[in-house]
Chains A and B, each alone.
Chain A
Amino acid sequence: MTLSRPTMAAIRFGYGLKPGDENAPASAADLMKQVERGAKAKARFPREGFEGRRETALRLLSVRAAEAKTAQAGKPNPDLRRDTLREADRMLRRDSFARIMQAVYSHNGFFERLASFWIDHFSVNARKTYAMRMIVSLFEAEAIRPNIGGPFVNLLHAAVLHPAMLFYLDQNRSVGPESQAGLRNGTGLNENLGRELLELHTMGAGSGYTQEDVRGAALILTGVTVDGRTLAVGYRRARAEPGRLSLLGKVYGEEGRSDADHVAMLDDLAKRPETARHVCRKLVKYFIADEPPAEIVEAMVAAWTASDGNLTAVYQAMLDHPRAWDGEGQKFKQPFDFVVSGLRALDVKEADMTALAKALDDEDAEVPLRPDEAEDGDDMVQAEKPGPRGADMGRPDAAASAEDGAASDIKKSATKAAAPKPGFARAVTFGALRRMGQPVWQPPSPAGFADDAQAWLSPSQLSERIAWARLAVRGLGKDLDPAAFLSTTLADAARPDTTKIVAQAPNKVHGLTMVLVSPEFNRR
């Protein structure tokens, strides 16, 4: 059975159907228009805009630097450290919420999916360092999103040379061993960025480069640094490895080393055929099937080659391929996609979401930091990062902190002013994503989140989704009729069995819940 184009356009290539959406895409052409519009649209994060966020971040960083100095002199100020940490955590929470809102309310679903693809392709983790909490949203908004529809090489430069990426992959710790700084301090090379550049960002693992190439890429990158106080990305000759450096048979720095070398390297890597194949295959895997059909990949690689890596042409080639529109249900939605498409299906009014966001803000203003959001430390331990089957999937009892706002005395509680619903706001948005193993902007590794059904379709994942659906339906879907909800949510993707079972459900909440946890809602 082949589903209708509008259904496939919304479910496979977007964040699902939203009732009454007049902008719902009906064709490949509509989806391509979304790419064009999306790249020009302003994202909902960071909340203060690019300049505003830089200012805030710089202010907080300098406050903390000043404190660090007085601390060294024996006068630490723990209150200030705590307060500034809270402020950064708050920004991350708000931005995380805004990222979900962005996906829910955008009319450019295909563009939003692409943004999720690329932020994952160029993974950074918002909890890596203090500053990262504030700048990862900036990274997505200024480096990724504006470059999604252009030449791949532009996106590569913007992403790899952004402060967020440089912090995340430890570029400041990488010093040319033979450079002035290296010789003076005995510090050395950190291969992290060089390795991920080849393995993840461009050519892909197993594409033929060697360990020598990894080292070469890392050496060529030496000298590139990011200032921890000003967030300025610069080139410091004293840290750059001198001499002729080679990568994949090409020599860089022939006429003396300069900041032109790593720029040229990125240009060259963007042009490699391995890069085209790696990225195209990953796109097909992301959108269409865990085992990407080769003919779609080939068509996209051809478009890449013909257009010199123009991503719009590559997406167009994917959508133009007939096989991109059949074989539905092979992909299992990642948690972010599940939650976003669920909120879209429930047609949550923007005003209601704004009220939830406000409840979170108000709570931020008075409630102390919860233990689960306590400082991670400035260097994350790999093993503790969340993942699809990570420790986060456990089901802790309502923690002691869970009793915020609960009252042991009824009278006191009953006379309280109308309480906001921050707990609910969290639980249906980023809190749910943490529980499902996909916290916003916190991938488990530089390779990003897993993207195949095997990684996600587990008993605990299913339980989390059922719990989320019941909560969301109770809180947001009370007036919906299950049969009508099924048809606006899944259209012709609803199987006859599901239609029948949902209509027979013993109560409405369960009927609506079953729509959201049905196989066809969780697949695409």
Chain B
Amino acid sequence: MDASNDFRLSRRGFLASACCLAAMPVMTPVSFAAAPGDARFVTIILRGAMDGLDLLQPYGDAAYAGLRPKLALTPDTGLTDLDGRFGLHPAAKSLMPLWQARELAFVHAVSTPYRNERSHFDGQDILESGGADKRERNGWLNRALATIPRTASRRAIDINTSMELILSGPNDVDVWSAQSDVALAEDEVRFLERLYAGDQSFSKAFEEAVRTDMSTDPLYAGGKRGSGVADMAKLAGNLLARDYRIGSFSINGWDTHVNQKAQFAQVAGTLALAITTLKESMGADAWSKTVVLAMTEFGRTARENGSGGTDHGTGGVAVLAGGAVDGGKIFGEWPGLGEDQLYEGRDLMPTGDLRELAAAMIHKQYGVSVGDLTTKVFPGLSFDAGSVYLRG
């Protein structure tokens, strides 16, 4: 039950530990807040635009295989069938016990209100701020804190500059980070290669750094990246089992423009590991009262591009996990992948609002009123207690 004593952690973001910078190149922080009661809520932000069509493949849709000759799988080629229409990517197979235990659900074809421009920065801002207005500078999860009825006195304020937007705001939040690091994600390495392409000396130095240090250097240990994320999830799980009720962290690496097959498998495996580690470190009791919501800024193009990857799209997939989830099902109205069914002829058409999903989970976990959710947390959101996400 008490899994906490076998790991070390350092407080508040940075290197409580270290003089050694590169020993800890990226502290992806985990932000937490206390709330009364036992219900837990964890958000995982999948930065870089997760390809929902790859994680949860609509192999039953007649158009799917034709759109993605390289990426599409079937139950015969490794996909794990979920309901006869959708299958789970093989790299996320370790989530299947949760599915079978009805602790895992997916929401297909969801998105934020962000449309058309497909910029990661703006998309993530809206995902975290929850506002249609991208200038909103505090996070919806922080605003939600103020609406949760409190009995206990508030925790001391502990502002840390590394907090991510989703939990930033006037309400008390603590930031912790695991001792170990998260290496550069594959997509980040690709971007650096492009950045250096025009400068031979840089290009050569970077290529050599990546090549020689791939396995040992924390910065480039792509193959070992999962362990850093797992440490983060373990830290989150341990803390959520105790004082904290709300937590958030990010997993980078989803911007799969090229060679998606290998890159996606790696990062999808990391996401699965994060979820199973959370469950394990939280313990059965805490897990039974938990909802984990993993979400991304937008989906990716329905068609593969010429580089074996996909480009920025619109509708995507959200993942729900936890003992408090009404699991074993796939939510969302499937829009279809036919030519005339795609958004702007290229993207999965969004049929659900991610904000509604988030509001439903906060309502379910903490009993926050519909009025508060539609005025304070997500101003202007259309949501009521009859939401599809709350139907048993």
Instruction: Give the 4 A-B CB pairs with smallest separation, nearest first.
Output: A423-B15, A506-B48, A506-B255, A424-B14
**Among the listed stretches A233-241, A305-313, A320-328, A427-435, which one makes contact with chain B, having 4 or more residues with CB under 8 Å of it?**
A427-435
Give Cα A424 to B213, complex, Å: 24
Give Cα A488 to B218, complex, Å: 31
Assess whether A413 is in contact with B17, with CB atoms less than 8 Å apart.
Answer: no
Give Cα A399 to B165, complex, Å: 32
Assess whether B191 is in contact with A398, with CB atoms less than 8 Å apart.
Answer: no
User: Of A408, A474, A517, which is within 8 A of B162 by CB?
Assistant: A474
Assess whether B209 is in contact with A459, with CB atoms less than 8 Å apart.
Answer: yes
Which residues of chain B are within 8 angstroms of A413 by Cβ–Cβ distance?
9, 11
Assess whether B12 is in contact with A419, with CB atoms less than 8 Å apart.
Answer: yes
- Judge whether B21 is part of the interface by a CB distance below 8 angstroms: yes
17 A-B contacts, Cβ less than 8 Å apart?
A: A396-B20, A404-B16, A407-B9, A408-B5, A409-B4, A413-B9, A413-B11, A460-B209, A467-B26, A475-B14, A505-B120, A506-B48, A506-B120, A506-B252, A514-B191, A517-B192, A522-B202
Known contacts being A466-B192, A505-B191, is A497 close to B197, with CB within 8 Å? yes
Assess whether B198 is in contact with A495, with CB atoms less than 8 Å apart.
Answer: yes
Tell me the residues in window 162-212 of chain B with beta carbons closer than 8 Å to chain A beta carbons.
162-165, 174, 179, 184-185, 187-188, 191-192, 194-199, 201-202, 205-206, 208-209, 212
Known contacts being A396-B20, A423-B19, A506-B48, is A475 close to B13, with CB within 8 Å? yes
- Chain B residue with Cβ nearest A423: B15
Give Cα A275 to B386, complex, Å: 86
Query: Quick one: which of B9, B22, B242 has the most chain A CB within 10 A?
Result: B22
- Judge whether B25 is part of the interface by a CB distance below 8 angstroms: yes
- Judge whether A372 is part of the interface by a CB distance below 8 angstroms: yes
Query: Quick one: which of A399, A460, A474, A503 has the most chain B CB within 10 A?
Result: A474
- Judge whether B18 is part of the interface by a CB distance below 8 angstroms: yes
- Judge whether A255 is part of the interface by a CB distance below 8 angstroms: no
Give Cα A401 to B19, complex, Å: 9
Assess whether A421 is in contact with B9, with CB atoms less than 8 Å apart.
Answer: no
Which residues of chain B are within 8 angstroms of A447 by Cβ–Cβ distance?
none
- Judge whether B254 is part of the interface by a CB distance below 8 angstroms: yes
Assess whether A398 is in contact with B179, with CB atoms less than 8 Å apart.
Answer: yes
Assess whether A508 is in contact with B195, with CB atoms less than 8 Å apart.
Answer: no
Assess whether B209 is in contact with A463, with CB atoms less than 8 Å apart.
Answer: yes
Assess whether A410 is in contact with B21, with CB atoms less than 8 Å apart.
Answer: no
Give Cα A416 to B255, complex, Å: 39
- Judge whether B161 is part of the interface by a CB distance below 8 angstroms: yes
Assess whether B205 is in contact with A423, with CB atoms less than 8 Å apart.
Answer: no
Assess whether A370 is in contact with B199, with CB atoms less than 8 Å apart.
Answer: no
Which residues of chain A are within 8 angstroms of B137 by Cβ–Cβ distance?
479
Assess whether A514 is in contact with B195, with CB atoms less than 8 Å apart.
Answer: yes
Assess whether B121 is in contact with A467, with CB atoms less than 8 Å apart.
Answer: no
- Judge whether A86 is part of the interface by a CB distance below 8 angstroms: no
Which residues of chain B are within 8 angstroms of A409 by Cβ–Cβ distance?
4-5
Assess whether A519 is in contact with B199, with CB atoms less than 8 Å apart.
Answer: yes
- Chain A residue with Cβ nearest B185: A506
Least CB distance from A290 to B in Å reads 12
A residues at B contact (CB < 8 Å): 370, 372, 395-399, 402-411, 413-414, 416, 418-419, 421, 423-424, 426-427, 431-432, 434-435, 453, 457-464, 466-468, 470-471, 474-476, 478-479, 481-482, 495, 497-498, 501-508, 510-511, 514, 517-519, 522
- Chain B residue with Cβ nearest A461: B205
Which residues of chain B are within 8 angstroms of A424 by Cβ–Cβ distance?
13-15
Assess whether B14 is in contact with A423, with CB atoms less than 8 Å apart.
Answer: yes
- Chain A residue with Cβ nearest B186: A506
Least CB distance from B163 to A in Å reads 7
How many residue pairs link A and B with beta carbons under 8 A? The number is 216
Which residues of chain B are within 8 angstroms of A510 by Cβ–Cβ distance?
188, 191, 252
- Chain A residue with Cβ nearest B201: A457
In the complex, which range does the number of interface residues on chain B fall in?
35 or more
- Chain B residue with Cβ nearest A435: B21
- Judge whether B61 is part of the interface by a CB distance below 8 angstroms: no
Give Cα A502 to B191, complex, Å: 9
Which residues of chain A are within 8 angstroms of B220 by Cβ–Cβ distance?
463
Which residues of chain B are within 8 angstroms of A418 by Cβ–Cβ distance?
12, 156, 158
Assess whether A427 is in contact with B16, with CB atoms less than 8 Å apart.
Answer: no
Assess whether A467 is in contact with B219, with CB atoms less than 8 Å apart.
Answer: yes
Q: Known A-B contacts: A466-B25, A522-B202. Give 19 more (CB < 8 A).
A: A395-B23, A398-B18, A404-B16, A408-B7, A411-B243, A423-B15, A427-B19, A431-B20, A435-B22, A463-B209, A463-B220, A470-B25, A471-B14, A471-B21, A503-B119, A506-B48, A510-B191, A514-B195, A519-B198
Least CB distance from A429 to B in Å reads 10
Which residues of chain A are within 8 angstroms of B163 by Cβ–Cβ distance?
478
Known contacts being A424-B14, A466-B192, A466-B219, is A506 close to B254, with CB within 8 Å? yes
Query: Quick one: which of A405, A459, A498, A507 has the most chain B CB within 10 A?
Result: A507
Assess whether A507 is in contact with B252, with CB atoms less than 8 Å apart.
Answer: yes
Give Cα A370 to B20, complex, Å: 12
Which residues of chain A are within 8 angstroms of B280 by Cβ–Cβ distance?
none
Least CB distance from A111 to B in Å reads 29
Which residues of chain B are within 8 angstroms of A435 by Cβ–Cβ distance?
20-22
- Chain B residue with Cβ nearest A470: B26
Give Cα A81 to B177, complex, Å: 37
Give Cα A476 to B14, complex, Å: 11
Tell me the residues in window 33-76 of chain B with beta carbons closer than 8 Å to chain A beta carbons.
47-49
User: Of A419, A426, A474, which is within 8 A of B26 by CB?
Assistant: A474
- Judge whether B238 is part of the interface by a CB distance below 8 angstroms: yes
Which residues of chain B are within 8 angstroms of A414 by Cβ–Cβ distance?
174, 239, 242-243
Give Cα A409 to B243, complex, Å: 13
Give Cα A423 to B10, complex, Å: 11
Least CB distance from A371 to B in Å reads 10
User: Of B9, B47, B185, B191, which is within 8 A of A406 by CB?
Assistant: B9
Give Cα A508 to B14, complex, Å: 19
Assess whether A478 is in contact with B194, with CB atoms less than 8 Å apart.
Answer: no
Which residues of chain B are within 8 angstroms of A519 by Cβ–Cβ distance?
195-196, 198-199, 202
- Judge whether B24 is part of the interface by a CB distance below 8 angstroms: yes
Assess whether B4 is in contact with A404, with CB atoms less than 8 Å apart.
Answer: no
Which residues of chain B are within 8 angstroms of A421 by Cβ–Cβ distance?
12-14, 16
Which residues of chain B are within 8 angstroms of A464 by Cβ–Cβ distance?
21-22
Give Cα A411 to B2, complex, Å: 12
- Judge whether B8 is part of the interface by a CB distance below 8 angstroms: yes
Which residues of chain A are within 8 angstroms of B202 by Cβ–Cβ distance?
457, 462, 519, 522
Give Cα A196 to B376, complex, Å: 71
Which residues of chain B are within 8 angstroms of A460 by Cβ–Cβ distance?
209
Least CB distance from B268 to A in Å reads 16
Known contacts being A459-B212, A506-B48, A507-B124, is A406 close to B179, with CB within 8 Å? yes
Known contacts being A407-B9, A416-B11, A475-B162, is A398 close to B21, with CB within 8 Å? no
Least CB distance from A143 to B in Å reads 30
Query: Quick one: which of B16, B120, B121, B213 has the most chain A CB within 10 A?
Result: B16
Assess whether A478 is in contact with B9, with CB atoms less than 8 Å apart.
Answer: no
Assess whether B198 is in contact with A468, with CB atoms less than 8 Å apart.
Answer: no
Query: Quick one: which of A411, A506, A519 has the most chain B CB within 10 A?
Result: A506
Which residues of chain B are within 8 angstroms of A372 by Cβ–Cβ distance?
19
- Chain A residue with Cβ nearest B180: A398
- Judge whether B217 is part of the interface by a CB distance below 8 angstroms: yes
